[in-house]
Structure 1
Amino acid sequence: MDRGTHTTATALIDAVRERTHEARVAEAAAFVAVGDWAAAHTSSEVVGDPITTLGEWDSEALSGDQFLELGGPGAPVVAEFCISEVAAARGCSFDAARRLVGDAVELRYRLPCVHARVAAGEVDVWRGRRIAQATRTLTFEAAGFVDRHVAYVAGKATGAEVDRLVAEAAARFDPETTEAERHAADGDRYLSIDLGDTAYADPLTGTLRGTVNVHGSLDLADALDLERTVAHVARQLGELGCDPNLDIRRSMALGEIARRCDGVATLEYDVEQPPTRARREVVLFVHLDQAAITGTLNGIGPRIDACTGMTGIDLARLDTPGAPRGAVTVEQVQSWCAAPDTTVTVKPIIDLTTEDAVNGYAPPDRIADHVRARWPRCVFPYCTRSSRTADLDHCDAYEQHGPLGQTSTRNLFPLCRRHHRMKTHRELRTGNRWTYRPTDPNAGEPPNAVIWTSPLGLRYLVDRDGTRPWPPEAT
């Protein structure tokens, strides 16, 4: 690419960045204005007060304007008729405007930290609204817990991460309901194999497909066992030259597993000759202290949750490979580990303030776990892919006969496969590639971050809070 073409391309990308920034600022300002409008049409009562419960207004009030509960407990109620003004100004339906006003009220009164970042243009409005919609059913204290913990990463937190945090807040501040729902979920487990007369026929054409549907709801530990076995058998089928389609091999694996059980339909057996049974393996990365196990603090007083100030709230942070992450109750962990045929592996807590290095190219598990704990996502600008499945890239290229300690916790960064390729290979049009380096705090750059340079020379800073153009004045 010649100099003039490069200048034109850079100007075009700069225009995209500037227009995007202007649109983000304008959208944030409009959202804040909606919140201001709602605040001017609120009542002194708040959601959760007995007199504001819908249906308890007198007939005269119901015939005209009335106050609606648009936010969660603790948020003020909002006059219904004011929403029509918002709908007309936005050119949208009343229902869409009602949802918008509800999200604005939720953020303004129950999630002030996230609201401040949205108002400043640091977090996209749609991300703030996604968080507001997830916290609507939480208590006021639980919503504050989510607000404090998600605000600093609101710009890049995924929906699943927000949902996990909301579930943890609900468990911490309403443990009775959470435990009741967990036990109720046990009764919802099922496994169905559709073997009806027409299950194997196409409902539209009537032609025979020769397949049936299998669906169900399993306990998490049972699901992990099944997934591990299905994946193992599917891999074996692939090695034997079976169908290259993984989905087909996984479906065939269930049949292979059933046939390997030799048609046994009962768990009864001769005590002297018990059948061989695979041991359940549970690998738990759990942040849990001794007080949660004993129920007392240092064996003296009751266990007090630091976040809620209440007793008897013991949550474990589950971070198990292949399993959904999040908080689970101690009782559920105990139920998983109680079976006599279960092997429990305890992983030590990783101290992210230390550094470790080896001389070989491939990092050992302790270094890989350290890097992925420090960087939960791919470090490419704006990427949200988990570091669990990402490649570990040497920022400074590994030299076969180079200095010792090149594979270290400071020189390895997670990159998903696509962005690893982008970093490794040159772009066709420019002949350049994406490059990155760790920041230098001595040069006034933020610590614990990396700075990327695009093929056009544009730079982006990535840290645990998200991505932003660098230097800041560029926007």
Structure 2
Amino acid sequence: MDRGTHTTATALIDAVRERTAAARAAEAAAFVAVGDWAAAHTSDEVVGDPITTLGEWDSEALAGDQFLELGGPGAPVVAEFCISEIAAARGCSFDAARRLVGDAVELRYRLPRVHARVVAGEVDVWRGRRIAQATRTLTFEGAGFVDRHVAYVAGKATGPEVDRLVAEAAARFDPETTEAERHAADGDRYLAIDLGDTAYTDPLTGTLRGTVNVHGSLDLADALDLERSIAHVAHQLGELGCDPNIDIRRSMALGEIARRCEGVATLEYAARDASEEEEPRPVRRARREVVLFVHLDQAAITGVTTGIGPGIDAYTGMTGIDLARLDTPGAPRGVVTVEQVQSWCGLPDTRVTVKPVIDLTADVAVDGYSPPDRIAEHVRARWPRCVFPYCTRSSRTADLDHCARYDENGPPGQTSTRNLFPLCRRHHRMKTHPERRTGRRWAYRPTDPAKNEPPNAVIWTSPLGLRYLVDRDGTRPWSPPDEPLGPAPSLDDA
């Protein structure tokens, strides 16, 4: 790419960024105006107050303007008719306007920190609304918990991450309901195999399909065990040359697992002496492994406490259920109760592994190319996500990339916690291989505090020479005034 073409391409990208920023600012201003309009049409009552019920009002009152509960507990009620003005002004349906006003009320009165970032243009309106929609059923204290923890990362938090935080808030501030719902969900578990005549015949032609439908609802730990077994057997079938369609191999794997389990119960016996008269016994095999990563805060390590007694939740100040954080590859991340973890570990065929505590402030290095488990776990604990700009993929499933290229004839200690970073497979390829059109590639380096750069971060340079800073809080464009944008990295810079 010559200099003139590069300048034109950069100008086009700059135009996209400028117009995107202007559109975000305009959308934020419109959203604030909706909130101001709703605030001007609120009542002194708030959601959760014992206000008059509709059944006690006369027919004239029922036909007039009513106050609606659009936010969660603690938010003011809003006059119904004011929503029609918003709908007309925006050219949308009443229901769409009602949802918009409800999100504005929820953010303004129950999520003030997130609302402030939306107003400032630091968080997209759609992200703020997504958080507001998730917190509506929480108590006022629970919403405040979510607000404190998500506000500073609201610009990058994904929907599942917000949902997990909301679930944690519900467990902390309404533990009785949470535990009751968990036990109620246990009663909803089932597994159905449709063996009826209509299950394996085509409903339209009546021809034999030879397949049946299987569906159910399992305990999380049981589902993880089943998923791991199916994936493993499906991979084995693929290596043996079975059908290339992964879905077909997975369905075949379930039948193979069933036949293997039957063999364990009926054909595999414990070794015994020929003189023994007792019947042979089935061999018990470990079917589940629970790996526990124990994370301790500074108070737990130093022994300095805040004076809060045992069993007291530091956020609520009340006795509540104990929570554990789930972080298993292939599993939904979030919190579960300690009682549920105990039920997983308490089975006689479960092997429990407790990983050692990792000091993330220490630097660890080895001389070989492949990092051992202790270094890999260290890097993934330090960087929970792929470090590519705006990527949200978990580091648990990412590759570990040598930021400075590994040299077989180089100095020792090149594979270290300071030179390894998680990159998902797609972004690892983008860092390794050039673009077809420009011949340039993405590249990154750790920040240098000596150059007044933020610590514990990386700076990426795009094929156009644009820079982005990525740290644990997210991604932002990076262009220090004393460091002009340079050319994009070529393959020779690898």
Shorter-chain TM-score above 0.5: yes
Out of 234-243 and 271-280, give the one that drifted further.
271-280
The equivalent of 1:311 in structure 2 is 319
Q: Cα distance, 1:239 vs. partner?
A: 2.1
Whether the aligned pair in 1 keeps the contact of 2:265 and 2:282 (CA below 8 Å) is: no
SS in 1 for 2:51: helix
The equivalent of 1:168 in structure 2 is 168
For residues 402-421 of structure 1, what are the structure 2 equivalents within 5 Å? 402-421=410-429
Matches of 1:106 and 1:90 in 2, distance apart? 20
Q: Deviations over 1:406-460 (max 9, x none)?
A: 1111111111111111111111222211111111222222222111111111111
The equivalent of 2:402 in structure 1 is 394
Out of 397-406 and 69-78, give the one that drifted further.
397-406
Question: Closer, same or farther in 2 for the Cα pair 1:141/1:472, shift >3 Å?
Answer: farther
Matches of 1:301 and 1:119 in 2, distance apart? 39
The equivalent of 1:333 in structure 2 is 341
* 2:152 corresponds to 1:144: no
SS in 1 for 2:262: coil
> What is the identity percentage for the equivalent residue pairs of Structure 1 and Structure 2?
88
Matches of 1:29 and 1:327 in 2, distance apart? 36
Matches of 1:134 and 1:154 in 2, distance apart? 13
Question: Could you state the TM-score of these two structures normalised by the residue count of structure 1?
Answer: 0.93
For 1:337, give the aligned amino acid.
C
SS in 2 for 1:141: helix
Question: Closer, same or farther in 2 for the Cα pair 1:105/1:349, shift >3 Å?
Answer: farther
Matches of 1:53 and 1:147 in 2, distance apart? 31
Q: Deviations over 1:114-164 (max 9, x none)?
A: 111111111111111111101000000001001111111111111111111
Gaps of 5+ in 1: none
SS in 2 for 1:177: helix
The equivalent of 2:374 in structure 1 is 366
For 1:307, give the aligned amino acid.
Y
Q: Cα distance, 1:61 vs. partner?
A: 2.5
Whether the aligned pair in 2 keeps the contact of 1:287 and 1:317 (CA below 8 Å) is: no
The equivalent of 1:177 in structure 2 is 177
For 2:285, give the aligned amino acid.
A
For residues 30-429 of structure 1, what are the structure 2 equivalents within 5 Å? 30-51=30-51, 57-262=57-262, 273-279=280-286, 280-287=288-295, 302-429=310-437
Whether the aligned pair in 1 keeps the contact of 2:172 and 2:320 (CA below 8 Å) is: no
Matches of 1:54 and 1:116 in 2, distance apart? 35
Q: Cα distance, 1:57 vs. partner?
A: 4.3
Matches of 1:192 and 1:282 in 2, distance apart? 27
For 2:131, give the aligned amino acid.
I
SS in 2 for 1:277: coil
Matches of 1:469 and 1:461 in 2, distance apart? 6
Q: Deviations over 1:163-205 (max 9, x none)?
A: 1111110000000001101110111000011111121223344
SS in 1 for 2:384: coil
SS in 1 for 2:43: strand
Matches of 2:68 and 2:292 in 1, distance apart? 45
Q: Cα distance, 1:264 vs. partner?
A: 9.0
Question: Could you state the TM-score of these two structures normalised by the residue count of structure 2?
Answer: 0.89
SS in 2 for 1:397: coil
Matches of 1:351 and 1:315 in 2, distance apart? 22
Which of the numbers 444, 451, 456 marks the counterpart of 1:443? 451
Question: Closer, same or farther in 2 for the Cα pair 1:91/1:25, shift >3 Å?
Answer: same
Whether the aligned pair in 2 keeps the contact of 1:155 and 1:465 (CA below 8 Å) is: no
Whether the aligned pair in 2 keeps the contact of 1:46 and 1:52 (CA below 8 Å) is: no
Q: Deviations over 1:262-310 (max 9, x none)?
A: 38999xx999643223212111235489x99xxxx99x96521110011
Equivalent residues, number: 466
Matches of 2:90 and 2:315 in 1, distance apart? 40
